[in-house]
Structures are given as C-alpha cells and as structure tokens.
Structure 1
Amino acid sequence: MGKKRINVAIVGLQFGGQFPSIYQLHPDIEMVGICDTDHLLLNEFGNKFGISERYSSLEQILNSGKYDAIHLVTPIHSHAKLTLEVLNAGLHCACTVPMATTIDELKAIVAAQKTSGKNYMMMETAVYTYQYLYAREMMLIGELGRIQFLRGAHYQDMEGWPHYWKGLPPMHYATHALAPLLAISESRATKVHCFGSGKMREELHSQYGNQFPVETAIFQLDKDDLAVEVTRTLFQTARDYMESFNIYGDTASLEWHMEQGPLHLFRMGPLEKARGRKITHELIKPGPRPDLLPHEIAVFMEHQDHLDESNPHLSVLQGGAHHGSHPHLVHEFVRSIIEERKPYIDAVTAANWTAAGICAHESALKGGAEIIIPQFD
C-alpha cells in the first residue's frame, strides 16, 4: 500500500466521540467521518471538531464508497450485526468491546473476516493502559520470572445507564478484567467454572434471565498449568469503579487495584535459613508511552484537548482517556491496515477473549458446571 492514506468513519458518538480527533491527526489518515442517530449530537460534535462528513446510519456510510475502515462504538447488542455488515461490505472494522454476546456471533465474525480478507480489531482498552504497558515491559525483560497465577476484576455500577445494560450478565462484559491476563500470559482460556453471587431487583433480571449482580470465575489456560480468577459486577454492589489486574510471578509480582492508584510491585528475596523469604514492596506510578506513537498523536499523552468535556462517559476522567489507551488503539488499527497485517487484537484473539466470558456466564447459570471454551483458529 506504500504511502497510501486511508479514510475512516466513527459510528456512535456517546463514547465514540473520544476518537475522531485522534484519527484526524494520525499521519496515515486522509479523511474522518462521523455517524450518530442523534442529529443534534452529530451536528454539535461535527461543528465543534470541524468534521463535515456526517451520517445518520451505517448504511449511508457503506453506500458512500468513500471509506476504507469503520470504527464501531455502538450499544453492545449491535456489535455483531454491524461488524458483519462492515466486513461483508469489504471494509476494515474496529469495534469496541465486547466483540459479541453469543458463540454463534463470534464464529460468524471470524468467518466474515476470513472471507473478506479485511482487518477486524476489538478495541480493548485494558491492554494499552499505562499500567498494562509497564507490566508487559517487565514480563518481556524477564523481571517477573515464571508467571504462577493471575487475577482480574472490574467493578462498576450501571444504574441509570441505557436500557440495554439493565440486568446484563456481568461476564458478557468481562474483557476489561480478563484480557490483560490472557494477553500478558500469551494464552487462551480453555475451560471455566463460574459462580453467580447475590440477588438483583426483579426488573433487573427479567430482560436477560440473569439474576446475578456478581459473577466470579476460575479459568484454566492452555499453557504452563496456569489458571486465572476474574470477578465482574454490574449492579447492586457497593463499590465505586475499579479495573484491576494482578500478576504473580516467582521472581516479582504486580498488583493494580485502584482506578487512579499506583502499581504495587513485590520482589522475592533470596532463600535464607529463616522461615519464608523476605518480600520487598514498592509503589510504581507508570507514565505515558508517547515513544510508541507517531508524534502527531503522541500529544494526546500530554493533554486532553481531543476529549469532549461534555461527554459523561467515565473514560473522559481517566488520564488520557482509559489511562492513555485510546491513541494506542487508533494507531494499531490504522497501522495494521497500512502495513497489510493482522492487528494485535485480531478476530481470532477477540473471539477467544470474548468467548471466555460468554462461557463463564453459561457456567454460572448451571451452578458452576465446567464449560469447555471453543477456540476459533
């Protein structure tokens, strides 16, 4: 493709409004379009950020013939349908999490990506945060030693959010907690035992037939005799927002507990005659990684001018938006297209990460029964 620049359209501006300005400055982007069914929001956003290409439906974008790629930032249960429309139209597709909510949908997307030959990328923020990139660096240079166990959690209260969230099975939206664990261990979850916990109000579990505000799972991985534990909450659990990952190695371990908190680094001391080894503890505050980005969008690591301060989405409040992940996601998606290669979170990887949560909820409905997680490659 050489020096070709591409055109991209972003569909959905509630959360998706955080992305067009990054695309606008990316050196490999020629034109950016935006789409939303809310015409007032569409025009206010377009005027504010100087975007003239505006659409009220994905169909209009596909029929325009102007675009190489679409970035979907729409409600969860539209992801599979819209992704298939994009891929089957012969365009590259990025989509916010989760990839889909059923195994059949995951299979259909993987098949459509293969048939179309176009790129699919699930835009999972949790593997591009400051904290994760620091942990990944430690793992790559061998400072963690052999990984022995991993744990993740994602707590969030969804009261007052749009109707489709009401009573959503927690593990259907598990990738923020699970993806960092699978990514850093370079593994796939093969089977799961999951238990639901607690009770929700009747109107919350009628929509999906799910009565659990909390689900906790143990996943067996496909390498190194590893297991991971993941807990996800969505309703009626008194805890403010938190994403976390814990990585326990035989040389060093990392824990990230709090939304704005530092990383806890534990290092194993030498063997001694006394009982137990000495464990040292220090706090680490990872910084941004502009060195991983082209300078045109690395500026988003320094300031948040691209963010729409009127957008109520929590990610606006998280340093650099979801802890600096947004520019990295955009860059990986764009460069994968330019370089004609698979993106890091390609269709098979995204399906593996998403299927683990879908199967976990199935296990919870069956009282913790073992569920084998399908693979997609």
Structure 2
Amino acid sequence: MSAAINIAVVGLGFGEAFVPIYQAHPSVGRIALVDVSTERLARVGEMYGVESRYTSYEDMLADSTWDAVHILAPVSFHANYTLAALRAGKHVACAVPMATDLADIDEIIEAQAASGKQYMMMETSTFAREFRAVQNLLQDGSLGDLTLYKGVHIQNLDGYPPYWLGFPPMQYITHALSPALRLTGTSVKDVVAYGSGRLDEDQTGTSQNPYPTEVGLFRLDGHDLVPEVTMSFFKVARPYIEGFSVYGSKASVEWPPVEKTTPLVYELQDLDPNQADTGLRGRRSTTVELAVDDGTELLPEPLRRFVDTYEVLPANGDAPVWKSAEHGGSHPHLVHEFISAVVEGCVPTVGPVTAAEWTAPGICAHESAMNDGERVVVPQYRGRSGR
C-alpha cells in the first residue's frame, strides 16, 4: 500500500463532517462516498468534489482502490459492516458503539487480528478539548486522587429515525463512560444498573427495552473510583447534554449544564485556622473556568482549522458555507489518529481491545437493568490482540 491512504466514508448524515478533514489530511489520497440516498450522495459529492460514489457498501468493498473505511452508518450496521470490511482487507474506523452484542465484540477482535488491518472506534469524548484539559490537570497533579465521576448523556430522540425507538440507552454508553476509563487507564470489572421510567407504547420499537433512562454504577478493575453514568434518550425534559464531571482530592471539574459553555474548575483551599470563630465549618473552594486545550500542535497544519468553526468552499461554485466543529473539536484529532495508525502500522489509541473495554460495560449495564439491578460481571479483553 502506498503512503497515500484511499478511504471511503460510509454514511453521510454524520459522515459529511469528516469529508473535508480527510481531504485536507496530507496522508490521504482519494476519497469515496457511500450512502443509500442518491440525493445525499449527489449533494455531498458535488459540494466537496468527490467523484467516487456508491449506493452499495458491498460494491465499495469489492473495489481494491479503497484501503480503509470510516463507518458512520446507523448503529445496527456497525458490527456487520466492520466485519465485512476487515475480511475484505480494509482498515476500519467506526463510530460508536463498536457493537451492541458481546458476541459481536469477540468476533471483531478475532477478525481484526486475522486481517492484520487496523481498527479504531472513533470515540469523540476522549479526543475533545475538554477531556484533553482534564487529562492535563490529572497528569500534572492538580486534581489529586480521583474520588468521584459522573458521566451523563441525555438526548431526546423523538422524531429521530425509527431505528432509535426503544434503543437501550446504556448500549450507547461510550461518550459518558470512556473518559473515566481513559483517565484511570482501567477497565470495568462489574456493573449494577437500573432502568428509570417507562417508555410510551409508540416509543418502544422492537428492542424489548422498556426504559427511557438507565443509571449505572461501574466498579473498576484496579482503581477505587466508581463511575456513575446516566443515559437517557426519551421522556426527560432538558436540552441535550453529553459530558462528564470528575472530582479529585485537590480539585474537580464539572461539566456545564448548558452545552458549548465552559466547564468549571473547583480548587479546594487550605482550612482556615480561624474559621471556627466564624461559625463556619469545612474547607472552601475557589471557582474558575476550565482552560481548554484545542491540541492544535498535535495536528498537521492543514487539519488545525477544523478544531473550530471553519469555512467550506464548495467545489461546485456555490457560496461559501461555514461549518461548526462539533464534539469538542475532536474530529480532526480522530482522523489524524486513525490515518497515522494505518500509515505507521501501529495500534490506535482506541484499538479493538480498548474499544471493547469501553463498549462492553454498557451492554452489561443494560442486562443488569433488565434483571432488576443484578450485578453483571464484564468480560475482560486485555491480553488479546490489539490495544
């Protein structure tokens, strides 16, 4: 394979956002678009000047032009599309989650090892500017010991495509849980979870899941932190929120209640020796905004503009379009991590084993919720091929 990677972007609803980033990457050659909608293929293809277009995923896989695929199709396709691509000799980047079934996770790990190709789950939260800033605070000792973690993903899916009806919230856990696992470098040992509320009849779909919300406690392997995660897709009245708060013995960071505003840092102050005379008790904390880190120095120069709002000059001559950098500016970092892993032949940060460790706890949490909070042991994946 040449140094220039030819990649197919599969699913242009979410996937459109990645097209200009791949086009700008210095190690990417040609790009193909794959989508069942001919209208969407035409619109995105004309905007970005991409001539290679497929309505059939299988036809694209059969074309030896393409070295890699980035799967951004609906969740139900993730496992089968990943397996088909690996067995066709393609490198795979895949949106979250890796799979919704433990057997599929095992099969993907085995298929990746047999293929010799790279696999990366494109988890946005651990490549976002907010996570990078928190990670820096932990590494320089500012947070102290991690003692409490709360992950949350609340998103009302009324009006979304029908395949989301009744989707078990915990099976989409990676955005809310993975920051805790990356910060601690651990995996989940076991989980206890409960469902909260009941879906209306027209929201249940075919999954047999009755819960609009699921809440879980995750016990880690080798770390005292016990992450608490709340996942909700229906019947909760609040704007979208997807984030995490992490608390330490010296300082803490809380996710803001309103998306796209800055998290707050609380720093514990020394106990005032004269405080008892005032009638007050306990140690006080100062509050400042988190200094976020876009990490542009980690990116090739052509990708740096994609960490913030950027301009697209349509190839068809239409007026310029401004696009927002969603998910904390993570998209160019994800692209660069995946392409670098392919070019250098190294396991990406969220390789198959790490992806399994971040995905399986949610599958097990839903099992726990469906069994009235029964403790469920999570499979362990370390020692298998791929990080």
Query: Which range, TM-score by smaller chain?
Result: over 0.9
Aligned to 1:367: 372
- How many Å apart are 1:224 and its aligned residue? 2.4
Aligned to 1:27: 26
What is the TM-score normalised by the length of structure 1?
A: 0.94
Aligned to 1:121: 120
Secondary structure of 2:360's counterpart equals: helix
Aligned to 1:288: 294
- How many Å apart are 1:288 and its aligned residue? 2.5
1:345 aligns with one of 339, 350, 364: 350
Instruction: State how far apart, in whole Å, the 1-side matches of 2:53 and 2:205 are.
Output: 37
Aligned to 1:133: 132
Letter in 1 for 2:306: F
**Does residue 52 in structure 1 map to residue 51 in structure 2?**
yes
Aligned to 2:147: 148
Identity of paired residues, percent?
A: 40
Instruction: State how far apart, in whole Å, the 1-side matches of 2:307 and 2:106 are.
Output: 36
Aligned to 1:217: 216
Secondary structure of 2:229's counterpart equals: strand
**Does residue 376 in structure 1 map to residue 375 in structure 2?**
no
Secondary structure of 2:310's counterpart equals: coil
- How many Å apart are 1:206 and its aligned residue? 4.6
Letter in 1 for 2:304: A
Instruction: State how far apart, in whole Å, the 1-side matches of 2:173 and 2:45 are.
Output: 32
Aligned to 1:97: 96
Instruction: State how far apart, in whole Å, the 2-side matches of 1:198 and 1:326 are.
Output: 34
Write out per-residue CA displacement over residues 280-300 of structure 1, whole angstroms, 9 at most, x where no aligned residue.
Answer: 111225252211110011121
Aligned to 1:313: none
Residues 308 and 329 in structure 2, CA contact (< 8 A), matched pair in contact too: no
| Gap runs ≥5 in structure 2 | 276-280, 315-321, 383-387
Aligned to 1:305: 311
Instruction: State how far apart, in whole Å, the 2-side matches of 1:163 and 1:325 are.
Output: 28
Residues 356 and 373 in structure 1, CA contact (< 8 A), matched pair in contact too: yes
Structure with higher Rg: it is 2
Write out per-residue CA displacement over residues 117-137 of structure 1, whole angstroms, 9 at most, x where no aligned residue.
Answer: 111100111111111111111
Secondary structure of 2:328's counterpart equals: coil
2:339 aligns with one of 330, 334, 340: 334
Aligned to 2:82: 83
Residues 300 and 306 in structure 1, CA contact (< 8 A), matched pair in contact too: no
1:265-284 to 2 correspondences below 5 Å: 265-273=265-273, 274=275, 275-284=281-290
Residues 18 and 306 in structure 1, CA contact (< 8 A), matched pair in contact too: no
**Does residue 40 in structure 1 map to residue 39 in structure 2?**
yes
- How many Å apart are 1:304 and its aligned residue? 2.3
- How many Å apart are 1:205 and its aligned residue? 2.2
Residues 8 and 70 in structure 1, CA contact (< 8 A), matched pair in contact too: yes
Letter in 1 for 2:327: H
Write out per-residue CA displacement over residues 200-221 of structure 1, whole angstroms, 9 at most, x where no aligned residue.
Answer: 1113225111111010000000
Instruction: State how far apart, in whole Å, the 2-side matches of 1:289 and 1:307 are.
Output: 25
Secondary structure of 2:163's counterpart equals: helix
Aligned to 2:319: none
Residues 78 and 99 in structure 2, CA contact (< 8 A), matched pair in contact too: yes
Instruction: State how far apart, in whole Å, the 2-side matches of 1:172 and 1:300 are.
Output: 29
- How many Å apart are 1:44 and its aligned residue? 1.4
Instruction: State how far apart, in whole Å, the 1-side matches of 2:310 and 2:35 are.
Output: 23
Letter in 2 for 1:360: A
| Gap runs ≥5 in structure 1 | 309-315
Residues 307 and 177 of structure 1: CA distance in aligned 2, closer, same or farther (over 3 Å): farther
Residues 157 and 233 in structure 2, CA contact (< 8 A), matched pair in contact too: yes
Letter in 2 for 1:359: C
- How many Å apart are 1:306 and its aligned residue? 4.6
What is the TM-score normalised by the length of structure 2?
A: 0.92
Instruction: State how far apart, in whole Å, the 2-side matches of 1:24 and 1:221 are.
Output: 40
Instruction: State how far apart, in whole Å, the 1-side matches of 2:162 and 2:261 are.
Output: 31
- How many Å apart are 1:301 and its aligned residue? 2.5
Instruction: State how far apart, in whole Å, the 2-side matches of 1:40 and 1:260 are.
Output: 31
- How many Å apart are 1:302 and its aligned residue? 4.4
Residues 62 and 88 in structure 2, CA contact (< 8 A), matched pair in contact too: no
Instruction: State how far apart, in whole Å, the 2-side matches of 1:15 and 1:7 are.
Output: 20
